[in-house]
Chain A
Amino acid sequence: MKRLLPLLLLLTSAIGCERGFVDSRREFGPAVPEDARAHPVEIHSPTTLGVADTPLLDAKGRPIGVACETCHGPTPDLSWAAEPDRPEAFHEAVDLRHGELTCNHCHDAEDRTKLHLADGTPLEVKDAMTLCAQCHGVQYRDYTHGSHGGMNGHWDLNRGPRDRNHCVDCHAPHTPAYGQVLPVHPPRDRYLEVVEHDAPDHSAKEAH
């Protein structure tokens, strides 16, 4: 131990040798004031349902979206229904691929603009996250702890607000699986050009 002591001292002094600030005023930024009021976390919560795609295309070839309440609201415009086979064709584009769910699991049978929970309790559209949370509790738990779903703004709510996405901002309720996208911003490091020639071999090696 006696022999180790000088060594320990030397080590600690070496660690302590790190360059410090000459001007202590520059060491820290301003502290967050203690009376800072917590800013809100705003969750984007639409109060009406979105639009459903129809088989009709606009001039640019994109499907025309129609709000559900156009036909299913309290004062429906059913003038087009004179053609008896239109509604079915019209709804073909409402692609429902959400487990075993059917329309009535979430929408009221009489008024499609209204939502209800599994036990039939009516639900405001702005509270639709509760509807999702009935089955997706794990995701809802993660969401409430900030580890699921995107956000913008401040990590420190003492210094500014935060905006958060709503479930349906990312997951279309009828086809909730998150689709594929094309990646952006390919790297162009100078060494990558060489590597690319080996790419086919490389993936073959990976496969085994």
Chain B
Amino acid sequence: MSDPSRRTMLKGAGATLGAAAFARAVAPITEWTNDLSVEGFLQKHYKELTVEDMSAVLARIERETEEQYGAKVSVEDVRPTPGVQFAYALNLSVCIGCRRCAKACHEENNHDRATNNSYIRVLEMTNGSLNLEHGTVTYDHAVPAPGKFYMPVQCHQCDNAPCVRVCPVEATWKESDGIVVVDYDWCIGCRYCEAACPYHARRFNWSKPEIPADEINPDQAYLSNRIRPQGVMEKCTFCLHRTRRGKLPACLEACPTGARVFGNLADPDSEIRWVLENKRVFVLKEDLGTQPRFFYFFDE
């Protein structure tokens, strides 16, 4: 029996170091949460999934929603209808600031109950001013208050969307019907898009959304109102799970004054086209060149 050679010693030391480095590298796996399954972790980008992959993903999400929230839901991959270009217009002359749109959004899109989250923020503004910095969102008096007007702000689905360009992982993009979407399973939660959006339209899931099972809207889509995981961005999708099936968005249906007009820009006979052609229309922060699909207008 000879003493171990120098070569064997070095081999042993190398192996030990290697094993230690490997253990360190995989340490995060020991903190693996129940919220992220192995299938979820290994899932490909939304656009790389085949029809078969997607149906497996949807089945996993439905199963996990039932396990974590106790609610039976249907999650579908609702895709754009050919020949449809969505746009939205809002009549500032008749909006009374009642915030029922924000409430409808909260319920339709399965937002976290504790934070009252909603994709719509209604600003109370002083007549004669369009300075958003002076708008308040916490008003709690009877509306409309004298000398004030109300300006709901939500995602403008920009054609030149700054939020899409800043995403480092392509987790958000503009779809062929004009809606800017987020793949919640691909988002890394860096919040660059939140910072880039000049309309303050994106929201971050600081905590895992909590919603009682009987309040969960079971009609869900992968890219819109399915319950989002913790640590990812979310945003208004013009209720694509409704609108891509021909229905009106939830915020429009909730509006008691009819301030909201929604439709297909590609249809010359649509209501939205009539508004754009006949009303005094403007877009918010036009100078930024974001080219929104969301318009504001006034009556005569």
B139 contact set on A, CB distance < 8 A = 183
With A185-B99, A185-B106 known to touch, is A18 a contact of B143 (CB < 8 Å)? Answer: no
Supposing A147-B91, A147-B275, A155-B264 touch, asked if A27 and B79 sit within 8 A by C-beta, the answer is yes
Indicate if the CB atoms of B126 and A26 lie closer than 8 Å. Answer: no
Q: State in angstroms the CA–CA spacing of A146 and B258 once bound together.
A: 8
When C-beta atoms are compared, the residue in chain A nearest to B45 turns out to be: A19
Whether, in the assembled complex, B170 has its beta carbon less than 8 Å from a beta carbon of chain A, the answer is yes
A-B contact count (CB 8 A): 169
Distance A29 CA – B84 CA, assembled complex (angstroms): 11
A34 vs chain B, min Cβ distance (A): 11
**A28-B81, A183-B99, A185-B106 known; A146 and B118 CB under 8 Å?**
no
Q: Which listed residue (B48, B115, B261) contacts A189, Cβ 8 A?
A: B115
Which residues of chain A come closer than 8 Å to B253, judged between CB atoms?
Answer: 150-152
B96 at the interface (CB under 8 A from A): yes
Given the interface pairs A21-B47, A184-B100, the reply to whether A138 lies near B300 with Cβ below 8 Å is yes
Query: Main secondary structure on chain B at its contact with chain A?
Result: loop
Chain A residues bordering chain B, tally (CB within 8 A) = 54
Judged by a CB distance under 8 angstroms, whether A126 is at the interface is no
Q: A19-B173, A187-B116, A187-B138 are in contact. Are A31 and B264 (CB under 8 A)?
A: no
> Are A202's CB and B271's CB within 8 A?
no
Q: Could you tell me if A29 and B81 are in contact, using CB atoms closer than 8 angstroms? A: yes
A160 to B300, CA, bound (A): 32
CB proximity to B under 8 Å, residues A1-46: 18-23, 25-32
Residues of chain B contacted by A155 (CB below 8 angstroms): 243, 246-248, 262-264, 270-271
Minimum C-beta distance from A168 to chain B (A): 14
Among B116, B129, B140, B173, contact of A183 (Cβ-Cβ < 8 Å): B140
Q: Indicate whether B285 reaches chain A with its CB closer than 8 angstroms.
A: no
Chain B, interface size category, equals 35 or more
Q: Determine how close the nearest CB of chain A comes to the CB of B224; give it in whole angstroms.
A: 13
A31 touches B83 (CB 8 A): yes
Residues in B with CB closer than 8 Å to A165 are 258
Query: Please, could you name 24 A-B residue pairs with CB atoms under 8 Å apart, sorted by A?
Result: A21-B47, A25-B50, A26-B77, A31-B83, A147-B274, A147-B279, A151-B252, A154-B248, A155-B246, A155-B248, A155-B264, A156-B264, A160-B246, A170-B257, A170-B258, A178-B257, A180-B142, A180-B143, A180-B145, A183-B122, A183-B139, A185-B118, A186-B140, A188-B116
4 additional A-B residue pairs with CB within 8 Å, beyond A150-B253, A155-B271? A26-B49, A145-B274, A153-B247, A155-B270
Q: Shortest 10 CB-CB distances between A and B: which pairs?
A: A159-B246, A146-B271, A156-B246, A29-B79, A185-B103, A180-B142, A149-B258, A23-B50, A145-B274, A188-B116
Residues of B in contact with A (beta carbons under 8 Å apart): 45, 47-51, 53-54, 77-84, 89, 91, 94, 96-100, 102-103, 106, 114-116, 118, 121-122, 126, 129, 134, 136-145, 170, 173, 176, 206, 243-248, 252-253, 255-258, 261-264, 270-271, 274-275, 278-279, 297, 299-300
